[in-house]
Structure 1
Amino acid sequence: MEFDRIVVVLVALVLAAWTVAAAWAILAARHREKRAEATLRSARRLGRMVDESPALPLLVRSDGRIEASPKLAQWLGLDSVPQYLSELDAGERGLPADKLAELTQAVLRAQKTAASFRMVATPRGSTRSLALRGCLADPQVSPGGAALVWVFDFSDSESELVKLREEAARARGDFSALVALIEAAPMPMWFRRADGSLQLVNSAYVAAVGGENAQAVVDAGTELVEAVDGLTARQVALQAAAKNVPIERIVSLTIAKQRRAFRVHDLPLGSEGIAGYAVDIEDMEELGRSFRAFREAQRAMLDQLSAGVAQFDAKKRLTFANQPFQRLFKLGPAAMIDPPAFERLLELMRDAARLPEVRDFPAWRREKAEWFAASETQEEAWPLGDGTHLRIVAQPVPDGGLLLIVEDRTEQLRLSAIRDTLLRTRTATFDSLFESVAVFAPDGRMQLWNRRFAADWGLESDFLDTHPHVEDLLGKIGPRLSRPAQAKAVGDTVRAATLDRKETGGRVALADGRTLEFAGVPLPDGNGLLIVLDITDSQKAETALRERNAALVEADAVKTRFLANMSYELRTPLTSIGGFAELLQAGVGCELDENGRDYVQAILNSAARLGEQIESILDLSQSEAGLLPLALEDIELMPLVKAVVEERAAPIRQCGLTLDLQGNGLVGTIRGDRRRLARALGHLVDNAISATPRGGRILVQVTRERHGTGDVAQIVVSDNGAGMDERALARALDGVKVSADGKTIERRQGLGLPLARQLIEAHGGTLRLMSEPGQGTAAIVELP
């Protein structure tokens, strides 16, 4: 616009000059017209260049009027260039209000103080970024203090700048994060210059070397890794830089007074330097040692198993085979020194006749080699030619190998056959039992039974074949009882045996008159055994026995009364006879001649012998009835035996016998009834006298013997008579006994030995007889 005004002015001047100097103008008009046309073309060219330039001028006069290119209006989103600066904000388009206010203030400041300014603005509803640079306009451009503002469109530059800013911010963030990561890393990390000196270390490095801070460690050049084989950590890092190859090594470092293994890495970074870090692998090394120890322990444990175990690696080579595996397949030491592959191992097994007989061995071997690629565990049974049965379990492992487990099931199969035989034997045994038996599981279901069980309860075989529950069984049994409510007792017995593990029993009466007794017994396997016995006959016998027992009790009472009266009824007449005979002997009635006195003496001897027999019968009867009274006192044993022997001196001499008494006063005393002990020993001596032929010898020996419970007095009466056989010896101690009908008394032997036994046992002692035909007899008495 201004250029047009200049042109107009020039034209006006030309016209004025034409008027002043028409003549000269006519001459020079054509020349000036050409110059004007050239200038106009130049102005248009300059205007076009301004329009096409990246910066558009905005002239703001002192009164607020503006001059600008229409292109600037397009940049601002306006239809045309407004007249005043304040109109650049068109509401929804143009500059924002805050930016327009900032621009207005900057323009006013530039007009007053000639201060330049810069600002950035983005029109409303546009993504265009505009840069505004303002200054005071040159007077030749616009006199009067106008401000010239150049507007630049740097949208592309702004996008690139934003992108660069974002990338720079991201790079700064990544760098900060990387630095923080390195600083926070639990492993020591460091960076060396190209000459190998430390430049940067992290906190873990500082803590590992025990430094105060990172700068102090760097300044001191404190190395984490000690010299190994004469090479320092710096020299190793320089070697990595010289070869431009990372170097990795495992060294032992002392950290916090502990020796730990570290894997140290030196990484060359070109001309920048060498980075390094150390990874603590002590735990991993410890795990490795633990794993090796575990593997050795595992293999030692596998050697103790009865099952054979073999391990193969991913290359199908044998890595381990325990001792049972080697024994089962007869593998020699050479096979374990150079472990063969899987297929070669099968060939060795075949040569040792430890594989099943197959028609096509190569195909069979290839089939077994496919176990390595199987997705599931394979299991097979291998019957060998020698009768061995092997169970093979092939389990693929994740590393591509194979775990082969071999179990010798020969004994197990043999035991299974034995078990089947035992089960059949058990069934046959159950069926042959006199009792009814049934086995119940803990859940109450019947497992086993015999035929008699079904017969006793009247149950059908089809019903029992369903293995009924005990409640169903009770429902069948109840109607067959005389009192159906008693069926509950059977169920309680089964539950007590299976659940409570207690032995219980009971008795029920059937409607047909039979009586069954049952008992529940817990079995070791958790089941319960129900035993049922038909006791109908035994009940009848028990009733008869009760009746007979009542009769025996009454007979015993009669015997007791008889024994109580016998002493008086027998002894009184005998005493009277003895008394009258003594009076006759004394001549009270009259004087007797020699024959009369002999008769009287015979009467007295017979009365004395009858009195002894009566005393013996009474003692024996009272002893068997448990009514024998004892007058206990302390008795010197040796004088007692001596007196008994001396009383029988006359019969011994008359029979022509010799009696040898052995013993002394050191045998001590015993507690007992003197009269009855003397009678018992006298009967033993009398028995020896009667059993010994003329010229024989009788030995009476009194000793004190030590037994486990204490000392006992032992009296042995032996003779060298004819002796007795076993049958006679068994009957020797029998005396008066109740007959078989229980109503009469029978007498098998004399009263001497039975009475002696009863008297000795009444004192808590024992009497034993030892005899052999032709060797004599010995009676051994032991008294406490």
Structure 2
Amino acid sequence: MTSKYYLNQLLDENILLTPWVFGAFVFFAGIVVYAVWLHIQKGTTTTSWSESLLSILESSNLPWLLYTSKGKGFRCSNDLSELLGSSKNLENFNDVFEFLNKEGAESLKLALKKLLRGQKTIRTQVMNHRGEALYVKATLVLPQRQILIWWQNLTSEQKLTQKINEQVTLLQEERKLLLYLLDSLPTPVWFRNQQGLLEFCNKSYAQALDLPQETIITQNRLLWGYNSTSFKQELSEPLNTEIKKYLIFDGERRLMSFHETADEELGIAGFAVDLTELKKALSELERHTAAYREVLENLSAGVAIYGSDKRIKFFNQAYSRMFDMDENWLHSGPTLGEVLDDLRQRRTLPEHADYAAYKKNQLQMVTTILHPFQELIHLPDERTLRKITSPHPMGGIFYIYEDLTDSLILERKYNIQMAVQRTSLDNLFEGIAVFGSDGRLRLTNAAFRRIWDLSANQCKEGLHMSAILDSCQNFFDEHKDWNLRKSKLLAAATDRIPKKKQVYRQDGSVVDFSYIPLPDGSHLMSCIDISDTYRMEKILRERNEALEKADQLKSELITRVSSELKSPAGEIQKVIEILYKGTQGELNKKQLDKMKSIDKSAIKLLKFADDILNLAKVEAVNSYSKEENISVCPFLRNLIEEMTAKYTDKSGISFTIDCHEDVTTISTDPLQLRQIFSNLLEECFERAKTQQEIPIHVSRENQDIIMTLSRYDEKYDQKMNTESVAPSWRLTLVRNLIVMCRGTLATQIFENGLHEIVCRFPINIKSTTTPKNIKLVQSAVK
């Protein structure tokens, strides 16, 4: 038998289940083959062969059983008893079958029979009495036809295999998680072996190079460009310094910092840190610091910052100017103690009884201050400063000095002015109250409380307007719905529409109320008790109405009297005209003289009646006027034609009108203007000499119309003093009518008898009330 035959008997395919069992079987099968080979080579005896085989089997770690088919020998390993669950050593095959279940024993017996019948190797599976599955492989060993049986506990091997598989699965999951975490990192991570070749890189690494991970590892592509001449260290050595380089990630230029650490057994691990945001933050910090310094430099308040070493780190120009300090010396970085000594020496530091204790406290505060605080300091030069002391976020302390001298002076002046205004308001007869935009009382005076009968508590500052109205409810109508009335009063007092009205109160008093919205959203209300004025005004109004009614009756009476006078005078003139014609017979000379006297008296009576009617028209025009735009010159020409046709006996008198081109229209009542011009013309017809031409000159001066009329009077006496000539009642009436139009009338009589009348009235005429002189003229006519 060759060694190959024995090897095939011991090593058959599919015999082992685990790598460990497989290795053990191979090892011991090799030993058995080697022992057979030695037996063949040396020609040893059967006894020496058996001893060699037993020595080899006893050194095995697997349970075994060696049995001679003739029943002359039974040997087994010590651990076979433990495997079968026996507490004693096994002495024969019956002991083995005893510790197997019935099916296992029958299966093992059947396998042994097949082996003895010539089958080379028998494999089977049996169960011991503990329920453990045992794998059995039986082989016939020549030359003594011994049966060699290998035993394997499948249950323990399965448990071990399951445990190993669980550990492998756990390790695989941990590896998968680790790879996922590394691939999820936004920064590149890599691993190089001891020769410096890449073995792993994450996705960020591959993304930076824009290559697949397999290609990067195959080509050993390093992010920082290891092949560059900038790096002289060996490839197998890690980076000994931090390397910074710009890379492109997703189209963005990023600044990366590369780091590596080495392990003698494992290799080199490296990672890259993205410094782009850090660089931006540092640049932004520098920009903010520069802006912060610029802002502090431009502040009107003095700023000084001391570091934790108690030396000045920053100061602005306002600080050096405020304390008149040398900037070059401050730039040298003096300590806080030196600065305090300098200020004390130049008397720009507040006086302290114990300066040493004050200085010590200030120096300790640099490192012990926790919260900011402020205080007022009074310098010997009569300046008052607000000093704000605060801990610096970077360590140290900073001071802010603000000069409050001018502010305190203004505040003092303001307080004095407010006190003066308060005293003035309290001594006003008019009640004043100011409510804020929220409807709450801000200011009131004593007169307001007196008018509305309010106490100091009822006018307390901060009370709402509705509460004050509730306190004044007794002054309003109690029969009406007070809530509705109050809401209307509140709406009227806060609608920001200026108004003025009179409030009639239940006690019979009258209050003149005014509301003015203020620019800041507040509401100013003023009130004054006008009860006495109102009662007096009411009495005067009633008397005025009575006078107006009497005046109206008087005008009606004048009109009636004038009409009654004109009717008989007209009848007399008609009778005289009939008598003049001689239809009733011829009249003698004496009768004719009487008739002429009667006719003259009738004419005077008609004229007197016309004058009375003119006065009545003046009253009518004064009571009712309607303004129109009137062309002056055409209006005057038409009126002259009417008057010339009326005074036919004065046919020798004519008028010439010189109207300047800039005289256009005036705005006034046409009836009033007609009265002025008609009375002037009638004055000329009645007093002017016959056979003369009266010039009328109309011009414009600024916003006034000037009309000048010159005539020679019929009854002028050169010996009579011109100043003693009294004007006619008609001219006086014209003067007062022009005064009603806010104009003037001037007359002048020259030595040659020339009488000049100058009328001046504005273009836009607004009539006023009837002057007293007109009533005097009316009385004179009567």
User: Aligning the two structures, in what range does the TM-score lie when normalised by the shorter sequence?
Assistant: 0.5 to 0.7
Distance 1:770 1:115 in 2: 166
Matched, 1:145 2:143: no
Structure-1 separation of matches of 2:528 and 2:476: 15
SS of residue paired to 1:554: helix
Q: 1:413 is aligned with what amino acid?
A: L
- After TM superposition, give the deviation of residue 177 of structure 1 in Å: 5.1
Q: What is residue 352 of structure 2 aligned with on the other side?
A: 358
Task: Give the 3 Å change call, closer, same or farther, for CA 594–612 of structure 1 in structure 2.
Answer: same
- List per-residue Cα deviations over 1:625-677 (Å, max 9, x = no partner): 22699997884379689999999xxxxxxxxxxx9997556756779999975
Matches of 1:498 and 1:100, distance apart in 2: 118
Q: Quote the residue 1:8 is aligned against.
A: none
Structure 1: 5+ residue stretches without partners: 1-48, 91-96, 227-231, 648-658, 689-697, 720-734, 737-746
Summarize the Cα distance change of 1:402–1:458 in structure 2 as closer, same or farther, 3 Å threshold: same
Structure 1 segment 236-247 matched on structure 2, within 5 A:
236-239=230-233, 246-247=240-241
Give, in whole Å, the separation in 2 of the partners of 1:105 and 1:315.
Answer: 99
Decide whether the 8 Å contact of 1:114 with 1:136 is kept in 2: yes
Secondary structure of 1:623's counterpart equals helix
Please, which of 416, 420, 423 is the counterpart of residue 428 of structure 1? Answer: 423
Deviations 1:194-240 (A, max 9, x none): 887777654334433344x23445666766557xxxxx764444338
Structure 1 residues 117-266: aligned runs within 5 Å: 136=139, 145=147, 147=149, 179-189=179-189, 201-211=201-211, 213-217=212-216, 224=223, 234-239=228-233, 246-254=240-248, 258-265=252-259
Aligned residue runs from structure 1 range 510-549, under 5 A: 514=509, 533-549=528-544
Residue 750 (1) aligns with residue 732 (2) = yes
What amino acid does structure 2 have at the position aligned with 1:368? Q
Q: Which residue of 2 aligns with 1:714?
A: 705
- What is the rounded CA distance, in whole Å, between the counterparts of 1:678 and 1:470 in structure 2? 59
| Corresponding position: 1:393 with 2:388 | yes
1:551 aligns with 2:546: yes
Give the deviation of 1:483 after TM superposition: 3.9
Aligned with 1:626 (options 621, 624, 627): 624
Root mean square deviation, CA, Å: 6.6
Deviation at 1:134, TM superposition (A): 7.2
Greater shift after overlay, 474-483 or 97-106?
97-106
Output aligned runs, 1:196-345, within 5 Å: 201-211=201-211, 213-217=212-216, 224=223, 234-239=228-233, 246-254=240-248, 258-265=252-259, 277-303=271-297, 305-322=299-316, 324-334=318-328, 337-338=331-332, 340-345=334-339
Question: Which residue is equivalent to 1:380?
Answer: 375
Tell me, in whole angstroms, the C-alpha distance in 1 between the residues paired with 2:251 and 2:134. 66
Change (3 A) 1:485 1:411: farther
SS at match of 2:242: strand
How many pairs are equivalent? 656
Tell me the equivalent position of 2:691. Answer: none
Aligned with 1:375: secondary structure? coil
> 1:241, 1:294 → 2: CA distance?
43
1:767 is aligned to 2:748:
no
Report SS of the residue matched to 2:186: coil
Q: Tell me how far apart the structure 2 counterparts of residues 778 and 197 of structure 1 sit (CA, whole Å).
A: 126
Q: CA deviation at 1:478?
A: 5.5
Partner residue, 1:42: none
Residues 555-585 of structure 1: CA distance to partner in whole angstroms, max 9, x if unpaired? 3432452464365356667778999999999
Q: Alpha carbons of 1:609 and 1:524: their partners in 2 closer, same or farther (altered >3 Å)?
A: same
Residue 436 of structure 1: CA displacement?
Answer: 4.5
| Bigger shift: residues 404-413 or 475-484 | 475-484
Structure 1 residues 583 and 703, CA gap change in structure 2 (3 angstroms)? farther
Q: In the alignment, is the contact (CA less than 8 A) between 1:110 and 1:147 conserved in 2?
A: no
Q: 3-state DSSP class of the match of 1:395?
A: strand
Separation (CA, whole Å) in 2 of partners of 1:104 and 1:503: 127
1:650 aligned partner: none
Q: CA deviation at 1:554?
A: 1.9
Secondary structure of 1:781's aligned partner: strand
Residue 676 of structure 2 corresponds to which residue in structure 1?
680
Question: Does the residue aligned with 1:247 lie in a helix, a strand or coil?
Answer: coil
| Superimposed CA distance per residue, residues 729-772 of structure 1 (whole angstroms, 9 cap, x where no aligned partner) | xxxxxx99xxxxxxxxxx999223112344xx4xxxx635799x
CA 1:501–1:632: 2 relative to 1, 3 Å: closer
Give per-residue Cα distances to partners, 1:652-704, cap 9 Å, x unaligned: xxxxxxx999755675677999997576368789999xxxxxxxxx9976446
Q: Do 2:208 and 2:247's aligned partners in 1 also have CA atoms closer than 8 Å?
A: no
Q: 1:781 aligns with which of 756, 761, 771?
A: 761
Relative to structure 1, is the Cα distance of residues 514 and 757 closer, same or farther in structure 2, using a 3 angstrom cutoff?
closer
Number of the residue aligned with 1:408 = 403
| Inter-partner Cα distance in structure 2 for 1:476 and 1:677 | 59
Aligned partners of 1:670 and 1:533: how far apart in 2?
A: 43
Of 59, 70, 81, the residue aligned with 2:65 is 59
Q: Residues of 2 paired with 1:756 and 1:626: CA distance?
A: 16
Task: State the distance in 2 between where 1:466 and 1:675 align.
Answer: 61
Q: Percent identity?
A: 23
**What TM-score, normalized by structure 1, do the two folds share?**
0.60
How has the CA–CA distance of structure 1 residues 272 and 633 changed in structure 2, closer, same or farther, with 3 Å as cutoff?
closer
Instruction: Tell me which residue corresponds to 2:31.
Output: none
Q: Would you say the 8 A contact 1:375–1:396 is kept in 2?
A: yes
Give the 3 Å change call, closer, same or farther, for CA 191–151 of structure 1 in structure 2. Answer: closer
Q: Look up the match of 2:4.
A: none
On the 8 A contact 1:248/1:263 being kept in 2, the answer is: yes
Contact 2:440 2:464 in 1 (8 A): yes
Paired amino acid for 1:147? I
CA distance in 1, matches of 2:74, 2:502: 128
1:258, 1:438 → 2: CA distance?
A: 69
Query: Distance in 2 between the 1:317 and 1:699 partners?
Result: 104
Instruction: Report the Cα offset of residue 534 of structure 1.
Output: 3.8
Per-residue deviation, 1:432? 1.9
Which deviations, in whole Å up to 9, do the C-alpha atoms of 1:233-279 show, x marking residues without a partner? 64444338799762224444455555443334466667987665543
Alignment CA distance shift 1:181-1:444 (3 Å) = closer
Asked whether the 8 Å contact 2:192–2:199 carries over to 1, the reply is: yes
Contact kept, 8 Å, 1:636 with 1:669, in 2: the verdict is: no
Contact 1:310 1:318 in 2 (8 A): yes
Cα distance change, pair 685–546 in 1 and its aligned pair in 2 (3 A):
closer
Report the Cα distance in structure 2 between the residues aligned to 1:396 and 1:103, rounded to whole angstroms.
93
**Partner SS state of residue 232, structure 2:** helix
Cα deviation digits, residues 364-393 of structure 1 (max 9, x gap) = 234234155322222222223334332233
Structure 1 residue 526, shift from structure 2 partner: 6.4
> Helix, strand or coil: the match of 1:145?
strand
Does the aligned pair in 1 maintain the 2:559–2:613 contact within 8 Å?
Answer: no
Classify the secondary structure of the residue corresponding to 1:379: strand
Q: 3-state DSSP class of the match of 1:636?
A: helix
Distance 2:316 2:106 in 1: 94
Letter of the structure 2 residue corresponding to residue 186 of structure 1: P
- What letter corresponds to residue 279 of structure 2 in structure 1? E
